[in-house]
Amino acid sequence: MAVRSTAAPPTPWSRNLAEPKVHETAFVHSFSNLIGDVRIGANVIVAPGTTIRADEGTPFYLGENTNIQDGVVIHGLEQGRVIGDDQNKYSVWIGKNACITHMALIHGPAYVGDNSFIGFRSTVFNARVGAGCIVMMHALIQDVEIPSGKYVPSGAIITSQQQADRLPDVQDQDKEFAHHVVGINQALRAGYLCAADSKCIAPIRDENAKSYTGNGITVLELERSSEVSSNSLGAETIDQLRYLLGQGYKIGTEHVDKRRFRTGSWTSCQPIEPRSLGEAIAALESCLNDHSGEYVRLFGIDKGRRRVLEAIIQRPDDDAKPATSFKAPTSHSNSSYSSSNGNGNGSSSGKVSGETLEQIRHLLAGGYKIGMEHVDERRFRTGSWTSCKPIEATSTNQVISALEECIASHQGEYVRLIGIDTKAKRRVLETIIQRPNGQVASSGSQKSFTSNAAPSATGTASSNRLSSEVVDQLRHLLASGSKISIEHVDQRRFRTGSWTSTGQIQASSEREAIAAVERQLGEY
C-alpha cells in the first residue's frame, strides 16, 4: 500500500524541502497524509484519515510501537520547540509505546512521553505530557507540564501548573488498559502489512475457503450453493437451511397429524446428516413427501443439544410456506431460542399471544407450575373461578397445547393463566388470556405476588424513565420475593468496579419500586 507523503513546501522560514522518513516495519495507511520532516520509528501504525503535517513547525518524531489512530491531527507552530529524549529540538515529540487515539490534536510545541495515552478528541498544545500519563476523552492540556504517571479525567481543562501538579496518579488498571491498546494496534499493524502482501494473504484466503462448519460442510460449498433450488421448499426454507448449516448446527425435522398437533405430540423424521446443502434439501423433501397432509417443522440443534430457529414448513393444507419469512437472527433476536429440557420452546397455533408465550417461558424457567382457570361472565363478578384440567407438562410445547385446549373448551368465558410456586404454595402470577368476546386481555389484567402473597396490580405500572426490560425485571424480582437494591459509580471509579450501594429499596408494590428506582436515577 503506497504511502501518501509529500516534501515540505518552500516557505519564508524553511526551504529544506524535507521529506518523511518511515521505518520499514511501520504501517502508514494510504488515506493518511505525511508532509515534511516527519520521522516515524519501528512498528508504528498510522491509521486512515490522519494528518501529520510538518510544514510549519518541524521536525516531528514518532517513537517505536506508537499508534496514531483515525482522524488524529499533528501540527506545530513555526515558533517554539521541545527537547526530545535524544536531546535534540523538535516541534512535536511523541515517545515509544504511545497511543494517540481517534480525533486527538497534538499541536506543537508539544511533548508526549513514552507509554502515554491521549484519549479521543483531547488536545495537547504548548505542553509536555510526561511518560506513562493517561489523558482521557475531550481533555485540554495547554501551557503546562504534566508530571510523569498522572491521570487526566475526561473533560478536564488543565491550563495552569497548579492544576497539573494536583492530578491523581495513574492506577495499575489504567496502565494495563493502555498496554492492551498498544497490543491491539500492533496486531492491526501486522494484519494490514499482511493484507498488502499477496504472499502473506493468499494462504489465509485459501484456508478460509476450505474452512469447515460444524457439519463438515465447507463455507466455500455453501457460497457456491446459492443457486440451489427446490420445487417443494420455499426460498425462505432454503435460506434457513443454509444459515443453520453455515453456523454449524445439526438439522432436525418432526411431523404430526392434525389430531396430535393439539397435544404437541410430534414425531421425529429420519435424522438428517448432510454433506452439502443439496443433500439437506433432498432429505427435507423426503420427509415432506412421506408425511404429506401433516404438519412438518424444521429446526437446528446446537452443541448443547438445544433447539434453535424452529419453524413449521408444511401444514395439512400442503402449504409449504413457513409461518414467517426467515431472517438470519442477530444476537438479540427472538428468532433463535432454546429450552433447558431439550423439548424446544414451542410454537402456537395463534390462540396464545406472544406475551403469554413469554410468560410461560419465564414461569417454566423459574421452576414454577402452570395452571389455568375459567369463569363465565355472571360468576366473573363474584370471582368464582373454576380450574381447568391440571397441567403437568414441563415443556413449552405441551403447556401451549394444554392452554389451547382449555381456551377451546371454554369459548365465551374468561380464561386466565396462573403461575404457582409449589414449594411456598402460593401464586406468583395471574393474567387473563381470554375474555368472553374472544379478545386477549392487555397486560393491565395481570397480577403478580410478593413473598407475603399480597397482590398488587402491576400490569398498569409504567415508567417514562425506565425501559420495559427494567420494569419487567423489577416485576419478576418482586414476584419471587427478592430484595431490591441500587448501586452507583462515577466514570472514574467505574473502571475499578468500585460501586457504592444506596441501600435496600423498601417497596411492597411494583409502583413503589419504580418510583424508588427513578428517585435514585435522578439523584445520581
Cα four-point dihedral sign 360, 362, 364, 370: negative
Ramachandran angles phi, psi of 372, nearest 5°: -135, 145
Strands (E), 177-217: none
Q: Which residue has the higher pLDDT, 213 or 89?
A: 89
pLDDT above 90 as % of the chain: 29
> Is residue 176 assigned to a domain?
yes
Least confident of 2-11, 32-41, 293-302, 318-327: 318-327
pLDDT higher than 60, residue 341: no
Of 338, 360, 378, which residue constitutes the final position of a domain? Answer: 338
Ramachandran angles phi, psi of 189, nearest 5°: -60, -45
Region class of 383: left (phi > 0), else alpha (psi between -120 and 50), else beta: left
Tell me the per-residue pLDDT of 352-363, one tens digit each, with 9 for 90 and over: 777 778 778 778
Q: Quick one: 23 and 111 in the same domain?
A: yes
CATH code (residue 370): 3.30.190.10
| Closest by Cα among 375, 414, 417, 421 to 399 | 417
**Most confidently predicted of 27-36, 251-260, 436-445:** 27-36
Q: Which residue has the higher pLDDT, 92 or 501?
A: 92
Q: Quick one: 64 and 86 in the same domain?
A: yes
| Closest by Cα among 31, 30, 33 to 20 | 33
Cell of 435: 375474555
How far is 76 from 127, CA to CA, in rounded Å? Answer: 12
How far is 283 from 466, CA to CA, in rounded Å? Answer: 49
For range 118-139, the mean pLDDT = 96
pLDDT higher than 90, residue 260: no
* Cα-based distances in Å from 93 to 61, 108, 381, 491: 5, 9, 82, 30
> Is residue 181 assigned to a domain?
yes
Tell me the per-residue pLDDT of 149-166, one tens digit each, with 9 for 90 and over: 999 999 999 999 999 999
491: enclosing H helix or E strand: helix 491-494
Ramachandran angles phi, psi of 111, nearest 5°: -130, 130
- Look up the pTM and report it: 0.46
pLDDT above 70 as % of the chain: 80
> Is residue 196 assigned to a domain?
no
For residue 473, the model assigns a pLDDT of 74
Q: Quick one: 166 and 43 in the same domain?
A: yes
Contact 407, 434 (CB under 8 A): yes
> Is residue 164 assigned to a domain?
yes
Residue range(s) defining the domain that contains residue 36? 5-187
Cell of 332: 438479540
Q: Quick one: 252 and 323 in the same domain?
A: yes
Q: Quick one: 32 and 150 in the same domain?
A: yes
Q: Which residue has the higher pLDDT, 477 or 411?
A: 411
For residue 63, the model assigns a pLDDT of 96
Q: Quick one: 316 and 352 in the same domain?
A: no
Cell of 444: 393491565
How far is 218 from 210, CA to CA, in rounded Å? Answer: 6
Residue type, 39: R
Burial of 509 (C-beta count, 10 Å sphere; 0-12/13-18/19+): middle
Q: Which residue has the higher pLDDT, 466 or 32?
A: 32
Q: Quick one: 123 and 217 in the same domain?
A: no
Q: Which long-range contacts (CB under 8 A, 24 or more apart) does 103-106 make?
A: 103/70, 103/71, 103/72, 104/69, 104/72, 104/73, 105/72, 105/73, 105/74, 106/72, 106/73, 106/74, 106/75
* Cα-based distances in Å from 417 to 277, 375, 403, 406, 510: 43, 12, 8, 10, 20
| Closest by Cα among 32, 38, 30, 29 to 8 | 38
Q: How confident is the model at residue 340 (pLDDT cuts 50, 70, 90)?
A: very low
Q: Which long-range contacts (CB under 8 A, 24 or more apart) does 108-111 make?
A: 108/57, 108/60, 108/74, 108/75, 108/76, 108/77, 108/80, 108/81, 108/82, 109/57, 109/76, 109/77, 109/80, 109/81, 109/82, 110/76, 110/82, 111/82, 111/83, 111/84
How far is 276 from 120, CA to CA, in rounded Å? Answer: 48
Q: How confident is the model at residue 103 (pLDDT cuts 50, 70, 90)?
A: very high
For residue 220, the model assigns a pLDDT of 56
Q: Quick one: 242 and 309 in the same domain?
A: yes
Strands 45-46, 157-158: parallel, antiparallel or unpaired by DSSP?
A: unpaired
Helical spans, DSSP H, in 225-380: 235-246, 258-261, 277-290, 354-365, 377-380
pLDDT higher than 60, residue 414: yes
For residue 221, the model assigns a pLDDT of 60
Strands (E), 355-479: 369-375, 386-387, 414-421, 426-434, 447-449, 455-456
Number of structural domains in the chain: 4
Q: Quick one: 261 and 380 in the same domain?
A: no
For range 274-292, the mean pLDDT = 84
Q: Quick one: 253 and 180 in the same domain?
A: no
Least confident of 88-92, 306-310, 345-349: 345-349
Least confident of 62-71, 170-179, 309-318, 372-381: 309-318
By three-state DSSP, how is residue 184 classified?
A: helix
How far is 481 from 483, CA to CA, in rounded Å? Answer: 7
Of 338, 364, 389, which residue constitutes the final position of a domain? Answer: 338
Tell me the per-residue pLDDT of 430-481, one tens digit each, with 9 for 90 and over: 778 888 876 554 444 455 554 433 333 334 466 667 776 677 777 767 776 7
> Is residue 206 assigned to a domain?
no
Q: Which residue has the higher pLDDT, 299 or 425?
A: 299
Q: How confident is the model at residue 174 (pLDDT cuts 50, 70, 90)?
A: confident
Of 338, 367, 398, which residue constitutes the final position of a domain? Answer: 338
How far is 46 from 49, CA to CA, in rounded Å? Answer: 9
pLDDT higher than 50, residue 402: yes
Tell me the per-residue pLDDT of 187-227, one tens digit each, with 9 for 90 and over: 899 888 888 888 888 877 776 666 665 666 665 566 555 55
Q: Which residues are catalytic?
A: 56
Strands (E), 144-224: 145-146, 151-152, 157-158
> Is residue 417 assigned to a domain?
yes
Q: Which residue has the higher pLDDT, 319 or 223?
A: 223
Q: How confident is the model at residue 337 (pLDDT cuts 50, 70, 90)?
A: very low
How many CB atoms neighbour CB 210 within 10 A? Answer: 11
Q: Quick one: 307 and 360 in the same domain?
A: no
Q: What secondary structure letter does DSSP report for 45?
A: E
Q: How confident is the model at residue 45 (pLDDT cuts 50, 70, 90)?
A: very high
Least confident of 96-105, 109-118, 317-326, 367-376: 317-326
> Is residue 450 assigned to a domain?
no
Look-up: residue for cell 401444514? 315
> Is residue 106 assigned to a domain?
yes
pLDDT higher than 80, residue 89: yes
Q: Quick one: 159 and 290 in the same domain?
A: no
**Most confidently predicted of 200-204, 371-375, 505-509, 517-521:** 371-375
Q: Which residue has the higher pLDDT, 334 or 84?
A: 84
Q: Which residue has the higher pLDDT, 345 or 96?
A: 96
